[in-house]
Amino acid sequence: MDAFSWEDGGDQLWERDGLFDDEMFAEQEEKPKPPQIVLMGNGEQTPFRLEFREDKKVLWVVKGNELGEYTLAQPDEDDA
């Protein structure tokens, strides 16, 4: 009797297919990285600009500077 007789396709607990789904490792579309704002304990932060949009139209713009000061403006008021 062969010591590995279970390899002949007889009674098996698992099928010989791979353990992982083929699509699990398929290349995925590159997603944009989420924005990162660093807030430090002394009140400093990374400068940022945040736009609120509806159907590609900018409604409001929020800006924060490195000193933790914020401004809220509509796009026509925004002084880039």
Q: Which two tokens stand for residue 73?
A: 């403006």
Structural domains of the chain, count: 1
Enter the pTM of the model: 0.51
Q: Is residue 68 part of a domain?
A: yes
Distance of CA 1 to the CA centre of its chain: 55
Q: Is residue 21 part of a domain?
A: no
What's the angle, vertex CA 59, arms to CA 53 and CA 63, rounded to 5? 90
Q: Is residue 6 part of a domain?
A: no
Q: How far is CA 11 from CA 8, 30, 48, in A?
A: 9, 43, 62
Going by pLDDT thresholds of 50, 70 and 90, the confidence category of residue 53 is very high
17-49 pLDDT tens trace:
666 666 666 676 777 778 788 888 888 899 999
Q: Is residue 24 part of a domain?
A: no
Domain extent at residue 64: 33-80
Q: Is residue 13 part of a domain?
A: no
Distance of CA 19 to the CA centre of its chain: 27
Q: Is residue 4 part of a domain?
A: no
